[in-house]
Each structure stands twice: as structure tokens, then as C-alpha cells.
Amino acid sequence: MSNQPEVRPPVPPFTLESAIAKVRGAEDGWNTRDPQRVSLAYTVDSAWRNRAEFANGREEIVAFLTRKWNKELDYRLIKELWAYGGNRIAVRYAYEWHDDSNHWYRSYGNENWEFDENGLMQRRFACINDMPIKESDRKFFWPLGRRPDDHPGLSDLGL
């Protein structure tokens, strides 16, 4: 076992370019829908508030994300930088998914992130609203996984 600290570039303090890179990295990670992989972007004692649910530490984050992606099928997410400063980033995002009855939703949210000096997220606060949509109203069309670079972002889609 290494005594080297975990480092997840880019690290704070953030510039516009590094904040955008951090947001895209988070989007790419969540679009894998791999709870274990996603949890590695957070400190071992990371504290979350997601809607009205709280998670503390990677083990609870993995459990939370496993439940989430077992319910939210064909999940596709777009994140966009809202603001940044020092070791904090604010994002807005939207994701589309359907339940096991094939009812589609677009979920809109905002997150506030705080990072440690090694670029791991130590605090995450998320507010999310779900809106039922018709399958024909979907806007996120790409193969499951990373959003292609040429796919429109939230602002481009009018979201």
C-alpha cells in the first residue's frame, strides 16, 4: 500500500480552464454509471447531500450510486460550469433516464462542490427536480457512456 496521497487533477485553485476540465471529468465519470470508479473522485470521508439523502464516505457513495443507476435506466448526463473560485465549483446539469416501466424523465439540478488540495471532492451538495417527459421529447442521444465532444451542451440545447 502506498503512502502517496491520492491526486485527481486538475487541483485547486481553479482557473476557468481547469474548472471546465473538472466539470467535464465529473460528467464523463458519472456517464460510465460505474459506482466504484465514480467514488474514486471523492475523498474517503466525502460528505454528500443529494436531494434529501446524505452519504458519508466512499462506501456509502458506492451504495447510493448503485441504487440510483439500478432505478435510473439508460442514464445520460450533461454538466455545465456555473461558477468557480478557489477550491469550489458550482455546476448545473440535466440528465435523462427512464424507469423500469419505460417512463422517461429529465432531471435538472445544481451542485456545489468543494475540493481538497489534491483535487478530490470532499463535499457535494445537490438539488434535483425530476420532470416527466415523453420519449419523443428526449434531447440526449448518444451511445451510453461518454458524451461525444460534438454533442450540444445544456446551453446549446436551451436547457
pLDDT of residue 12: 98
Domain 16-137 is found in CATH 3.10.450.50: yes
* CA 31-68-25 angle, 5° bins: 25
- What is the DSSP code (8-state) at residue 145? S
Give the list of residues 6+ apart from residue 98 with CB closer than 8 angstroms, or none: 72, 73, 74, 104, 105, 135
Report d(CA 99, CA 5) in Å as an integer. Answer: 39
Domain ranges of the chain: 16-137
User: Cell triple for residue 45?
Assistant: 470521508
pLDDT for the residue numbered 1? 55
- pLDDT at position 135 is 97
Place of cell 470508479: 37
If you average pLDDT over every residue of the chain, what do you get? 97
The pLDDT, as a whole number, for residue 5 is 80
Q: What is the mean pLDDT of each run of 10 residues along the chain (159 residues)?
A: 82 98 98 98 97 96 98 98 98 98 98 98 98 98 97 97
Which parts of 14-93 fold into alpha helices (H)? 16-31, 35-39, 58-71
pLDDT of residue 122: 98
pLDDT tens-digit series, residues 14-45: 999 999 999 999 999 999 999 999 999 999 99
